[in-house]
Structure 1
C-alpha cells in the first residue's frame, strides 16, 4: 500500500512538471510571436495602435520571465548532432516557426510530452490495469510513451503540409497578379511587394512569404539570394522551379513577364489536375461510409417491414 502511494505521488509530481514545461513552451511561443510582430511593425512603419493585440500586463510579464527558462531547458535536451538540428530547423521553418529559439522550444515540448507519456504509462500500469501481465504492460507503456513523444513532430508535419498546400493553391493567382503588374510597367521587386499586399486577405500565408521577400530585398540582399531564401523557407518544388526560372531570366536578360505568364499557365493546369485527382478519389473514399453506415440503414428500412410481417405470420402459425 505504501509503495502504491509513493508511486502515485511520484506520478503526480511528474505530471505537474510536465504541465509546467508545456506551459513554459506556450508562453515562450507567445513571447517569440510578440517579438516578431514588434520587429515587423517597426520595419514596415506601423502605427503604435497596431500593437494592441500583444500580450500585456501579467501575461506579457509571465511570458517574458518564463521564456528564457524554457529555452534553457530545451537547449539542454536537444540533440547534439548538427544534421539533426538542421533537419529540425528546416522543418520548423517550413511550418512557419522562424524564431531564433524555435529548435530549443520544439525539443523542450517534445521531451515534456515524453515525460507526460511516462507518467501516464506508469499511472495506467499501476492503477488502471494492475491485473494485466507484465508483457502487456510493457507493450502498453511503450505505445503510450511513443504516442506522447511523436505527437509534436506529427503536429509540425501537419502544419507543414497545411502551409505548403495553402501556398500551392494560391501560387497561380499570385503569378497572374505578377504578370499584370510587370506588364503594366512595374519592376519585379515592386510587383512582388504589390502582390504581397493584395493577397493579404485571400492568401495570408503566401502574402507573408512575399512580404518577407520584399523585406530582404529592402535590406540589401541580392534578388538571387532573396529568391533562394524564399525557396528554402517554403520547401515546395513549384516555388523552387519558379525561383530557378526567375534567376535564369534575370541572368540571361529574357522577358520576365513572358516567363511568369508561361509558368502561371502551367500552374493553373497543375491545379486543375490536382482537383481532378481529388475528384477521382472520392468514390473510393465514399466506399467505407456507404458499406458501414448507409447500406445497413437502407436494408433496415427496406427489409424491416417485411421482417416484422414474417415474424407476425410465424407467431400466428405457432399459435
Structure 2
C-alpha cells in the first residue's frame, strides 16, 4: 500500500510540474503569437529610439557629461557670476547656468580638435599645432562668456536708448492722475524692447506682493546701465522719504534725456576713429592700385625697353 501511495503521489507531482511547464512554455500557436508580440515590442522600442532627435540621442548626453566635468572645474561662486551674466544678457531663452557650464567644456574640447584637423590639412609644424590646441582650448572655454558679454552689451545699448522715452511716458501718466502701478503698466504696454520687459517684470513682482522698492532694486540689479541705476535709486529714495513721485520723475526724465543726447554725441565722435581701420585696410590699397598701377606698369615697360 505504501508503494502504491508513493507511486500515485509521484504521478500527481509529475502531472503538476508538466502542467506548470506547459503554462510557462506555450506550445504551437500560442508560442508563435508570443514570439510575434515580443518582436513587435522590440520593433516598437527601436522605432521610438529612431524617432528621437539627434539632440536627444547625442547632444543631451554629451552636455550632461560636460556639465559634471564643468562643475568640478568651476568654483563654488562661478554659478552666481554666470547667473548675473545671464541677467545682464536678458536671460536668453533656453540658457541656464548648467547649459553655460556644459557649453564651456564642450567648446573647450571641440574647438581645439577642429583647429588641429585644420592644421594637419595645412601640414603645419608641430609647434604650431600645439599653439592651435592651446589657443583653441582657451578660446573655446570662453566662447559662451563672449556670447553673453555681447548680448549684455546690445541689451544695455537698447535700454539706454529707450529709457528716456519710458520715463517720459511714466511721468506723463503719473501727472495725468494715474497711480504708479497703472503708470508702469502703461509703459509696459506702449513700449518695446528690454525696457518694456523690465517694467513688465516689475509690475508682475509688485502684483505678487513684492514691495515697490524691492521690485525696483531687482530691476536695477538685472542691468549694468548706470542711468537705470540712477533712476532706480531716485525712485527708491522718493518712496522711502515720501517725496512726490511726479516731481522726481520730471527731474529724472530731464536728466536721462540729457544723458541720452550726450551718449549719442559720444557715439558720433567715435565714428571717425572706427572708420580708420576699414579705410586703411580695404579702401586705401584699392585707391593706390588704381592711381599708381598705370604709372608702375609704364615705368616697368620703360626699364624693360632700355
Q: Does the TM-score normalized on the shorter chain lie above 0.5? A: yes
Alignment pair present for 1:256 and 2:245 = yes
TM-score if structure 2 supplies the norm length? 0.72
My pick for the range that moved more, 248-257 or 115-124, is 115-124
> Are residues 98 and 285 of structure 1, via their aligned partners in 2, closer, same or farther at CA, if it must alter by over 3 Å?
closer
Equivalence for 2:168: 176
Structure 1: unaligned runs, 5 residues or longer: 1-60
Contact preservation (8 Å) 1:114, 1:146: yes
2:66–2:106 CA contact under 8 A, matched in 1: no
Deviation at 1:308, TM superposition (A): 5.4
Task: Give SS of 1:235's match.
Answer: coil
Q: Which has the higher contact order (CA 8 A, sep 6+)?
A: 1
With the length of structure 1 as denominator, give the TM-score of the two structures: 0.69
C-alpha change, 1:71 and 1:257, in structure 2 (3 Å) is farther
> What pairs with 1:235-254 in structure 2 (closer than 5 Å)?
235-254=224-243
1:290 paired with 2:271, answer no
Within 1, Cα distance between the matches of 2:281 and 2:55?
52
8 A Cα contact 2:63 2:99, kept in partner: yes
CA distance in 2, matches of 1:131, 1:98: 39
- Which segment drifts farther, 98-107 or 189-198? 98-107
Which deviates more, 276-285 or 70-79?
A: 70-79
Count residues in correspondence.
Answer: 252
1:74–1:106: 8 Å Cα contact kept in structure 2? no
* 1:104 paired residue number: 98
**CA deviation string 1:264-297 (max 9, x = no partner):** 1111111111221122222222223333333333
Matched residue, 2:125: 132
- CA drift of 1:247 comes to 0.9
Residue 105 of structure 1 and its aligned partner are, at CA, apart by 1.2
Partner of 2:24: none
Structure 2: give runs of 5+ residues left out of the alignment. 1-51
Over the aligned positions, Cα root-mean-square deviation in angstroms equals: 3.1
Equivalence for 1:151: 143
Cα distance change of structure 1 residues 262 and 300 upon mapping to structure 2, 3 Å threshold: same
The worse-fitting range, judged by mean Cα deviation, of 175-184 and 261-270 is: 261-270
Larger gyration radius, structure 1 or structure 2? 2
Q: Does 1:266 align with 2:259?
A: no
